[in-house]
Amino acid sequence: MSLALAPLDVSVEVEANLPCRKFDPDLWFSDSPTELELAKSLCGDCPLRVECLAGAVERAEPWGVWGGEIFERGAVVPRKRPRGRPRKEDLARDAQLRVEAEARLAANGLSESRSAVRLAA
């Protein structure tokens, strides 16, 4: 059975407790790095965060925030960079954030499917 199609825990009131249902859905698909970070933080307390992330990894979601992670072109990215050439200090920060994103994926048991999960460089 696919993780994306796994039955939900019936004890969870789906509509009432999901931040993606309470707030503007465009927030999870914004072009603004600040808004995407806000969406990621709202996912932190979601009762379906792990299932949402597993489903997004399985489907290789092309973009948006899923399970508290940012997806871009089917890959998990630690943060959305603004347009233009990155500053040198941003490159170092991105390397650290990439390590943290890998750790979060591993903590959710998603690092084993390395062929399915790509971390963008």
Residues flagged as binding site for [4Fe-4S] cluster = 20, 43, 46, 52
Residue ranges for the known binding site are: 20, 43, 46, 52
**Eight-class DSSP state of 119:** B
| H-type alpha helices, the chain | 14-17, 19-22, 33-43, 49-59, 88-107
